[in-house]
Amino acid sequence: MTVILLSLLAITAYGLGTATHVRLYLGQWQLQPSFTFLLGLVAAALHLVSNSLLISTAQGWEFSFFKSASAITNIIVIVLLLFMRRKPVQNLFLINYPLAILSLIGAVFFTKQVSPIPRHELGILLHVSLSIIAYSFLSVAALQALLLYIQNKQLKARKNSHFLKALPPLLTMETILFALIRAGFVLLTLAIVSGAIFIQDLFAQHLVHKTALSLFAWLVFAILLIGHHFYGWRGLIASRWTLGGAIVLMLGFLGSKLVLEIILST
């Protein structure tokens, strides 16, 4: 009952946050950034406590598809709140708040029980936690890349839409994108290294495809960062590489859970 109550409060706060950011996007409200930050902080805190209670069980830590998705959207919101203090990322809340609501509903009401990580397996818990945080950063980067892609297309077409006016300057958008990619890349590297150290049998744990896709995504982001540093890759090229890497990572991390827990089990 406590989890349900906390989750409903988090969902309500996210709903209010979504409505607030819609009004701000449309130019119907003029609010102090501190108000939207506080509202998001309340929602993220309630979500975090709910996730902690959902994931931590008597047998260990349980990371089912919906619980993992809920943890990812929770961390994404926290990342955006941290960036919000220094960078204009408010438009991303319009996408992430509804996703947080959907994932939390799934984690509370539609989750499927899976084998938990035993409490003594702290190394595996570290690997999973790093993977979730890395995926969260790179998911935010993918959403930022999508906005950047649309922004570039509209600028090339000489459009003057409300969407374009609501976005920060192109250079600022690219600065935010690569800050997210660098942080996500470092975390993904740590996640892969920790997996190599603490996971003993990839074949028995159905992790071969997940590992292969994670390594491929790591390679995509590595090439992008090298291309950006040495050859000045930016704009549409950076957006395409980011979206491609994020899709591969999604297939490896959440795609495998979706297939194993939901599609094949029905």
Neighbours of 47 (CB within 10 A): 29
158 dihedral zone (left: phi>0; alpha: psi -120 to 50; beta):
left
The counts of H helices and E strands in the chain are 10, 0
Residue 153 CA to residue 147 CA, distance in Å, equals: 10
**Identity of the amino acid at 231:** Y
In this model, does residue 202 exceed pLDDT 70? no
What angle is formed at CA 80 by the lines to CA 252 and CA 224, rounded to 5 degrees?
A: 50
Q: Which residue has the tokens 């995504």?
A: 217
Query: How many domains does the chain contain in total?
Result: 1
| Domain carrying residue 29 | 2-263
Q: What is the pLDDT of residues 67-98, one digit of tens each?
A: 999 999 999 999 999 988 788 888 899 999 99
In this model, does residue 259 exceed pLDDT 70? no
Average pLDDT rounded to a whole number, residues 53-59: 90
At residue 156 the predicted structure's pLDDT band, cuts being 50, 70 and 90, is confident
Token pair of 17, please?
């946050």
Q: What is the pLDDT of residue 31?
A: 66
Residue percentage of the chain with pLDDT more than 70: 92
Measure Cα distances from 100 to 135, 145, 154 in Å.
Answer: 15, 20, 29
Q: What is the pLDDT of residue 265?
A: 54
Q: What is the pLDDT of residue 119?
A: 86
Given a contact cutoff of 8 angstroms between Cβ atoms, the answer to whether 60 and 125 are in contact is no
Given a contact cutoff of 8 angstroms between Cβ atoms, the answer to whether 179 and 225 are in contact is no
Highest-confidence segment of 15-19, 23-27, 107-111: 15-19
In this model, does residue 205 exceed pLDDT 70? no
Neighbours of 73 (CB within 10 A): 26
In this model, does residue 246 exceed pLDDT 80? yes
Chain CA centroid to CA 169, Å: 23
Residue 209 CA to residue 215 CA, distance in Å, equals: 10
Residue 144 CA to residue 134 CA, distance in Å, equals: 15
